[in-house]
A and B are shown apart, each in its own frame.
Chain A
Amino acid sequence: MNLLFQLLVNGLIVGALYGVVAMSFVLIYKASRIVNFAQGEFLLIGAWACWWLLTHWQLPFYIGFPITLAFMMIFGVVLQVVVLRPMIGEPIISVIMVTIGLSIFFQALMKWMFGVFAKPFPPIFASPTMNVLGLDVQTVYVVSLVISILIMAGFGWFFKFSRMGLAMRATAFDQQVAQSLGISVRQVFAMSWAISAMVSAVAGVVVGVVNGVSSALSFFGIKVFPAVILGGLDSVVGAVVGGLIVGLLENMAHYVDSQWLNFGNMYEIAPFYVLIAILMVKPYGLFGTKDIERV
Chain B
Amino acid sequence: MNAPPVTGGTDTPIFEARDVSLRFGGVRALTDVSFSIRKGELFSIIGPNGAGKTSMVNCISGRYRPTDGKVFFKGQDVTPMAPNQRAALGIGRTFQNLALFGHMTVLDNIMVGRHNQLKNNFLTGALYWFTGARKEELAHRREVEEIIDFLEIQHVRKATAGTLSYGLRKRVELARAVALKPDLILLDEPMAGMNLEEKEDMARYIVDLNEEWGMTVVMIEHDMGVVMDISHRVIVLDFGRKIAEGKPEEVLADPRVRSAYLGEDDVEVAPAAPQQEVA
Contacts and interface: CB of A to CB of B under 8 A. Distances in A.
Contact of B61 (A161, A169, A180): A180
B133 A162 contact: yes
Interface residues of A, number: 25
A176 B88 CA distance: 15
B34 interface: no
Interface string A160-180: 011110110110011011111
A191 B125 CA distance: 14
Contact of B103 (A167, A173, A178, A183): A173
B102 A184 contact: no
B121 A182 contact: no
A289 interface: yes
B95 interface: yes
A161 B137 contact: yes
Given A164-B125, A182-B115, A182-B180, A170 B101 contact: yes
Contacts, number: 92
Nearest to A167: B115
Given A163-B122, A166-B108, A180 B115 contact: no
B107 to A, nearest CB: 11
Q: Is the interface of A mostly helix, strand, loop or mixed?
A: helix
Interface string B50-86: 0000000000011100000000000000000011100
A292 interface: yes
Contacts of B63: 176, 179-180
B167 interface: no
Interface in B112-149: 112-113, 115-116, 118, 120-122, 125-126, 129, 133-134, 137
Contacts of A173: 101-104
Interface in A279-295: 289, 292, 294
A182 B87 contact: yes
Interface string A257-295: 000000000000000000000000000000001001010
Contacts of A180: 61, 63, 83-84, 87, 92-93, 95
Contacts of B162: 292, 294
Contacts of A197: none
Given A179-B83, A292-B160, A191 B112 contact: no
B99 interface: yes
B220 to A, nearest CB: 15
A182 B101 contact: no
B103 A289 contact: yes
B102 A181 contact: no
A157 interface: yes
Given A177-B95, A181-B92, A289-B103, 16 more contacts: A162-B122, A163-B133, A164-B121, A166-B111, A166-B115, A170-B115, A178-B112, A180-B84, A181-B113, A182-B87, A182-B115, A183-B116, A185-B84, A191-B122, A292-B103, A292-B160
Interface of A: 157, 161-164, 166-167, 169-170, 173-174, 176-185, 191, 289, 292, 294
Closest 4 CB pairs of A and B: A182-B87, A292-B162, A182-B116, A179-B83
13 contacts: A162-B122, A162-B133, A163-B122, A164-B121, A164-B125, A167-B112, A170-B104, A173-B103, A173-B104, A179-B62, A182-B84, A184-B84, A292-B103
